[in-house]
Amino acid sequence: MAANPKEIATDKKPGVFQWLIVIVVPLFFALIVLTVILTIIGVDVVGTTKETLNKVPIVNEWITTDEEELFEHQIESKETTIAELEDKLEAATSESASKDSTIEKLQAEIDTLVARLENRDSEIDSEAEIKVTNKKLIQSFTEMKAKEAAPILENMNNELVIEILEQLNEKTVAGIFAEMEPEVAATYINQMAE
């Protein structure tokens, strides 16, 4: 026995998928039309929806409001600024270390030059003292008689004797040479002639 086609058509019940399409499609279309109308009127549908969905406990993790996006943008901006400042700080620290080493080198050079200057000052002071001493010696030999001065000069350093003799007047030098041993006097005369 074959079943009657009318009976087959009436026995078939609509499925869940059909009910879903019958309900969801018109609701979706109505939602789109309502959104367009509210947007035309001037209502911020997207902002209001975000705020409302942000209050729902599980959904709020997926939805970000404009304030949250602005806050995240500010955080990113601040992090970028921090990174730039850290780079600048590192460059300044490097430059400071370089300048510190240059300062240390220059300070060492200054110390060396100061030490040289002090040595020269002490040499000048020594030379001045020697000149003062030599002047006193020359004055002493000028006041001495040639007979007394000749034996003293014969026993002194040749360079010092030449320096003293060059400072004395010719008459005194001639008298001293006359009192010296002829070989010694000749040596001094040769050295003075050079």
Question: Scanning the structure block, which residue is given the tokens 């997207």?
Answer: 46
Average pLDDT value for residue range 26-40: 88
pLDDT tens digits for range 34-70 = 888 888 998 888 878 777 777 778 767 777 766 777 8
Q: Per-residue pLDDT for 11 more than 70? A: no
Domain ranges for the chain, please list them: 144-194
- Which tokens in the block code for residue 5? 């086609």
Q: Which of 156, 155, 165, 169 is nearest to 190 (CA)?
A: 165
Residue 4: DSSP 8-state: P
- Give the predicted TM-score (pTM) of the model: 0.37
Write down the pLDDT at residue 74.
Answer: 92
